[in-house]
Chain A
């Protein structure tokens, strides 16, 4: 909502308040000021401003009201005229090409000299001939042989609108010589209207808030007295078929209106509020809508008579017939359905109720008898209609948020009065008013104790009463109870306990949130259960971060095509169920992801060119639809990705080694050890995306934790990677969290010396390292405290199909120093056991 300050000041005296203070008051009542446009008024002094200012200030010495006493032809140019102009200080000749001064040309001294906005030499204004707003300074120049040093201004040059067709012709009572800023300098507040404050999408509403918060009286404008005469009912009939959808419908009428522009001050305010001035009749409806918040619609009565074949027109509101068509003012034709409310006459639809008028029957330049509609519509129905026909209009915006039916009457009377004043018509006796579903405005009772228990501080009932009264409520205090009758302007106050909450909001926001105390919670602290799941998630992050991996946060939205890059076929599997988005923002974000692996590969692909080596992880959900379940399962996944070199190249080692499967496995092992997950095993596995020989499943006991592997060379071709293996692991993080342990037994540290010896065992090639090590540990018993594989050798000497596995064994006891004999016993036990299990032979040195 764009609200000109001058307009607000019609209804509340804001003397003594700066623009900045007014804007702060607005913001602190809930009307957030997004910016302030200066249209003449000076920018507040100083560097620091709480609000954003734009626009043009008019220097009082350079811009004044002037009078054009005579318009004379230019000796050398048909498209220019010379004006004899008086600016209050002196008389001079001014050059202009404004077409709206041409009618005065060569008719001698003017009996009613037009008043204009005059800019003197040196004035700063916007260049009228350049697109947009380009500041320029008036300089002396010679145009077609005539010296020019000043100008009569258009709206564009003054920053009022984009209008540059002609110059501004001010209203006749403008005082010559007065600085223009004093005459019509203004500022426009750009206000965000909250959904529960739609009543303030109106100048009177805004003025009411300011009046309440500054404790000044509100002066609401008065409309025409609506007579109860019967003449109108002789001219037109009214029928409302669905009062639920159309709670109120009023008609008033004016006749003998003349086509003319509205007063300049009206045009200027409409422009500043963002509406184009048309003529006095249309301007009156728009002006009144902006004033009150009630959208109005005007029909040309004579066109209605013609449509009725010369007889009395009948106005009917009803739902459309399925397939009925209407061409709206914007020139678009809409096919309607039977949920949409229409205003019709006997010949068919006139307008789409509450949204937009039809193109045929609106008022036009020749209208003299005008039928004025002021109505109220079911806001939900209007919303549905708007979402179907997709029309953005001022009326639709307001009606779809709820407009109080009582406003119809007030707005009708105001608008008829303005039409008569500005277009010179007269009121037809009587109004038609179909108002069967009368809005019941809640009466809410509130005690001081209730205020205290909501706000934590007392606001005396008298002060609460004063605030509510200023906001338009009718209040009374009886037996320590404040009764507040909701004014017939707003629909946001509820009944009962909700109404109490609504009133407390009204009272507290005007009272000032800053005046309310701040206390610490004194209520009893709920049981402190801790956050074990969150703590364990953070532990996962900490372990991986401390191991040098980068934490990431991933988008949930992707597409089946993006995920299918992980598959050999590179085409989505049609059998996969996705959470599909009905209104995707882009074609590559149509579903919620099922695969965190796919996300990780995209991250590696994006980043691999920026760093020689990458190691990243992500902890986040995937979304798995489940048959017969409304919402998908959100399964938490931990995904690790690696590629590139193990170290970054340095001046000492310019060719570091590439990461391989065992770098990834090392990260997984480090994590699982850190989480104290037991009985972990790695099993060779097949996976659609991984190299068949370089892929493993990781298990904890009989529960599968996930899979890790090197990307299949063919899958890898779907991505843009350079050299080196691409490695990734996808783990079931829900299971990790469930299996991780925060309580475990520590291993005592022995104070006795340890012995170290190496043994090499020749075993068949297919013997898995993990099995061999497990057997060594088992045979070694508890005195064998560490086993480390340090070499694998294959060679002719060993024979075909054999490998030599060399281990470093560490022996240590908790209670004594071990002897060579102890070591020999353990070693023999190991060798015997492995010989039996794997046919292992001790390799001689």
Chain B
């Protein structure tokens, strides 16, 4: 057999042997046998020197072709076996994906602070700034300057915690802040919201709290009208409850506003059809409001003949309670993690 024939024979033999290699060891043995130093192909290369001048290029070319063929067959086989091994390994690495994951520990904002943040943002977008004033107040700021002189019947609307210091009390609403900010800013125009904790002497029950968060809205300037109040509060309602939320103003009374109103929004739970949250009425009371009383403007340092304004007040606890249908208002300050983690 000529060298060329031998190489051709080697190619056929090697490829068929490669076919039957099953393990990595067999493959390696094949590589040593057919591509190693003592393999027929490599031998053919090393014997080139002793071949005739005419034969040399032919044998060289043929040996090279066989080598390339064997190498690429080897590479293909090797890759196929690697793939197979991986596939078998992957098959064994199956997880029970129904096992629980490693939870990330998440912190959460208190639901009241979430609501408060939302309200601050909505009013902030409308050019309102935040103003805060003390939680312990004088009787004057809490009542007298708000058009409730001592023994005024309207004082009954607020059950008050008094301190042992004469004339000092725990503010029953955020409205004293109206006087503070007016006295600070007069005669500049005001567009502010006044959030804060207020306290009322109530029994602690599922429906009534002794401490709660309120937000007061105050606008003072020239030419501020009832229609401006209605428009501003409607915009607030649309931002908070959806742009199609219907609202209505009902006459009411607060000593520090005149005229006064309560704003109801169509119940967002039942869409006005009547449900447990709105007690069947289809309406939810969300805030009290009105045009700032001339006496209050005067106490604040604004001439009521020149300036006018409106104010509104809303309870954050109550609106948060309605929104998430919380059954007990005390949850907010008990801070039970089982409750807080739901928000």
Contacts and interface: CB of A to CB of B under 8 A. Distances in A.
Interface stretch (A123-131, A310-318, A345-353, A603-611): A603-611
Interface string B77-117: 00000000000000000000001101111111110110001
Given A52-B280, A531-B129, A550 B190 contact: no
Contact of B153 (A379, A457, A553): A379
Contacts of B261: 513
A607 B99 CA distance: 27
Given A195-B255, A453-B225, A534-B120, A401 B338 contact: no
A526 B189 contact: yes
Contacts of A621: 135
A270 interface: no
B224 to A, nearest CB: 6
A522 interface: yes
B183 interface: no
B31 interface: no
A534 B215 CA distance: 14
Interface in A33-48: 47-48
A522 B228 contact: yes
Contacts, number: 276
Nearest to B279: A52
A505 B259 CA distance: 4
Main DSSP-derived SS at the B contact region: mixed
B340 A557 contact: no
B339 to A, nearest CB: 10
B129 A497 contact: no
Contact of B113 (A50, A196, A541): A541
Interface string A605-644: 0110011001110001101000000111010000000000
B219 interface: yes
A581 B124 CA distance: 36
B30 interface: no
A547 B226 CA distance: 46
B175 interface: no
B226 A29 contact: no
A48 B154 CA distance: 34
Nearest to A507: B259
Contact of B161 (A52, A583, A631): A583
Contacts of A538: 117
B327 interface: no
A547 B108 CA distance: 10
A506 B120 CA distance: 33
A610 B108 contact: no
Contacts of A554: 333, 335
A197 B251 CA distance: 11
A552 interface: yes
Interface string B286-324: 000001011100000000110010000000000000000
Given A456-B225, A589-B210, A550 B337 contact: yes
B189 A524 contact: yes
B211 A508 contact: no
A455 interface: yes
Given A49-B274, A531-B129, A550 B336 contact: no
A606 B105 contact: no
A194 interface: yes
Contact of B253 (A197, A379, A529, A586): A197
Nearest to A620: B197
A589 B102 CA distance: 42
A514 B283 contact: no
A402 interface: yes
Contact of A585 (B189, B203, B334): B203
Contacts of A521: 126, 191, 219, 224, 228, 231-232
Interface in B220-278: 221-228, 230-232, 234-235, 248-253, 255, 258-261, 273-274
Contacts of A523: 189, 219, 221-224, 228
A579 B169 CA distance: 10
A549 B107 contact: yes
A514 B259 contact: no
B165 interface: yes
B45 interface: no
B252 A30 contact: yes
A603 B335 contact: yes
A92 interface: no
B314 to A, nearest CB: 17
Interface residues of B, number: 100
A273 interface: no
B58 interface: no
B129 to A, nearest CB: 6
B206 interface: no
Given A29-B251, A581-B163, A634-B135, A517 B188 contact: no
Nearest to A647: B105
A610 B339 CA distance: 11
Given A504-B259, A517-B227, A553 B102 contact: no
B281 interface: yes
A623 B168 CA distance: 13
Interface in A362-404: 379-380, 383-384, 400-402
Given A28-B250, A555-B333, A589-B210, A518 B227 contact: yes
B199 A556 contact: yes
B338 A553 contact: no
A582 B258 contact: no
B178 interface: no
Contacts of A550: 107-108, 110, 337, 340-341
Interface string B35-55: 000000000000000000000
A50 B281 contact: yes
A650 B250 contact: no
B293 A501 contact: yes
A578 to B, nearest CB: 9
B136 interface: yes
B310 to A, nearest CB: 10
A580 B134 CA distance: 16
Interface in A43-75: 47-52
A528 B199 contact: no
A29 B251 CA distance: 6
B124 A557 contact: no
A120 to B, nearest CB: 32
Contacts of B291: 454, 501
In this complex, which of B150, B230, B291, B333 has the most chain A Cβ atoms within 10 angstroms of its Cβ?
B230
B138 interface: yes
A585 B168 CA distance: 17
A519 interface: yes
Contacts of A518: 227, 230-231, 234
B282 A457 contact: no
B164 A582 contact: yes
Contacts of A614: 337
13 contacts: A30-B252, A380-B150, A454-B226, A501-B294, A505-B260, A513-B261, A517-B227, A519-B230, A521-B191, A521-B231, A585-B202, A589-B210, A616-B335
Given A402-B153, A546-B107, 14 more contacts: A30-B253, A50-B274, A196-B255, A502-B258, A504-B258, A516-B227, A521-B231, A523-B222, A528-B129, A531-B124, A551-B107, A583-B162, A585-B201, A615-B107
Interface of A: 27-30, 32, 47-52, 194-198, 379-380, 383-384, 400-402, 452-457, 497-498, 501-502, 504-505, 508-509, 513-514, 516-531, 534, 538, 541, 544-557, 579-586, 589, 592, 603, 606-607, 610-611, 614-616, 620-621, 623, 630-632, 634, 647-648, 650-652
Interface of B: 99-100, 102-110, 112-113, 117, 120, 124, 126-127, 129-130, 134-138, 150-151, 153-154, 156-157, 161-165, 167-168, 170, 188-191, 197, 199, 201-204, 210-211, 213, 219, 221-228, 230-232, 234-235, 248-253, 255, 258-261, 273-274, 279-283, 291, 293-295, 304-305, 308, 332-338, 340-341
For the complex of A and B, list the 9 residue pairs with the smallest distance between their C-beta atoms, beginning with the closest: A456-B227, A456-B225, A30-B251, A505-B259, A509-B251, A194-B253, A545-B107, A513-B249, A518-B231
